[in-house]
Chain A
Amino acid sequence: MIGRLLAALLFCHGAQAAGVVSLNLCTDQYLVQLAPEQVAALSPLARDPSLSVVAAEAARLPWVRADAEAVLKLAPDWVLAADWGAQTTLQALERRGVRVVRSALPEDFPAIRVETLRLARLLGVEARGVALLAQMDATLAQVVPGPALAATVLEPRGYTAGAGSLADSVLRAAGLRNAGMGRRQDLETLLAHPPALLVMTDAPAYPSLATDFLRHPALARLPTRHLPPASLVCGGPWSADAVRALAP
């Protein structure tokens, strides 16, 4: 009797609609842009408009915590994740025979092209991937670089974008020179040696000391360009919009 009940329960779980589970904010955005119909669940961060460019779509899709049991209950066809974060969860899933695809999270435009096509093929929507890249290239082609100003991308807590980061690629694509070193910058040094242009993503809606730093009155005097909050979080075809917003 109990055995039959258990079997029924297990069968119920196994019979739920399958699809792809994404456990990383960046792969969430790829998955939603490439194949929203295949989403079994996204990470909860995907719904945060200050972190995700697909927050509106993600709000209508299911989400799951990075927890092996919760993911197994969804019985996904496969799981999309990153090289870092939640690795113990991913290993537990792989031990249970779930296929896990890890994305290297591209930080520049050549890598974005490669990753978009790879994920599109894995999802069986190659044409969609090609279309997204064509749109990205059209946006990038519109950008006419101005004078190569020294720009510093200032992130919460005063971190700056270093060489090889996504923000660095976006600056260079917009014709700017990255003056940040990837180190943490205190306000005093920044004011003593101000860059020609300060780039900040709009602080998210929730209060924190980290984002309070960006609102310090002493920064108000410096020439600043604001980007939408989620635009520099993850590299993807949408990163072209940040380049267009920065170009003169």
Chain B
Amino acid sequence: MATRTTSVHPRRKSKEDKVILEHSLELCEKMLKDLEGGKRPKLTATKCALDNSIYNSKVGFLTPGSKRVSTELNVSSVKKMSRAVFMLEILLRNIETGNVNTKRELYYISKGEVKHNKLMKALDFGDQNESDSVVDFICEMLECYREEMNCFANDRGGQTYSQNLVVTERLPDGTEAVIDLSQLGTSPFQPKNRPQNLTLKAKGKIDFCLVVESEGTANTLVANGFVKRHNSIVVGAQGVPSNAVRGWVKRIQDQLRVPIYFFGDLDAYTMQNIFRTLKAGSAASLIRNSDFSAPDVRFLGVLPEDIKKYDLNDYPVNERDAQEIRALKKARDALANDPFFKDKKNKGLSEILHWLINNKRRCEQQAFYSVDPRDPQMAEKIIIEKITKGHYV
């Protein structure tokens, strides 16, 4: 492996960085020691799956049970393990120097390493899926977030608008940046994938935060003056919330202590994938749900009763669309196995799932615009009415 490394920032290692470095070295030391003693090194990690998820309404998010998965060194796993050690070396070097990379870049970095060292040729990744799974494997073993390993995904979603919010970002070089969202004009503020570095402050009154499933609709609301008329924060989720959105909403909940409402489609996919992940995290990220879920988020709609109340245009689930059918099937599974939907506290949400399964109909968030087609503020009015009258779950 190349010995020359360059750092982009003169930097101080954070507490988290030190923990990761120590933990990794301990792990390597133990593996080497086992090998010296002719013992099989064994890596164990928390099992991140629904059958190891526990939901306690007092905690508010999915937490891991006691099940562990382990990988023992043998002829079948020797390739995976040597690849993991190889990739770990690259990641630790990044932490040491403060470099960050995307998964795709890591794939090419590993390719480059192999190119310069013929002995490593056997480790060469055939495609990015292979290197991605090794990165994930390392994070599982070290029980850390990918972002903690300085590996960032493309920032997606989380575009935030507010007239009263000020964000302070701690930068890798130890300095700070202060962003007043009211000064950004029509541009949104976009949180990074590691929102732990952000501190939030309200410079005026903030009554609530609205998370909108569709980024476009969030943009429309703001363009029509939503944040000017209401003391609020509007966040566009852009589909299934990324780590950035999840961590960001959690930050809003914890640091500003304002009510948060989620406004999205009425369908099984939104309820089960988007909203559940935002509120209680996911089974795949059991170990980091504590930082990446906002249990106080309420489901504002579209609610089943809204269809009748506002005479919204809904339509039947397309039985030929494999994705929609899969979502319904998953919803059925969720009602039976997902501890979040099985919990009494979330009865209102599971009832919505029941309604979706039984009626096989869906209604989109944009249907609010059909209520009074000549009034561009109609959606806004309905949202505010629902919030003030408490029409949410």
Q: Verify that A and B bind, or say they do not.
A: no
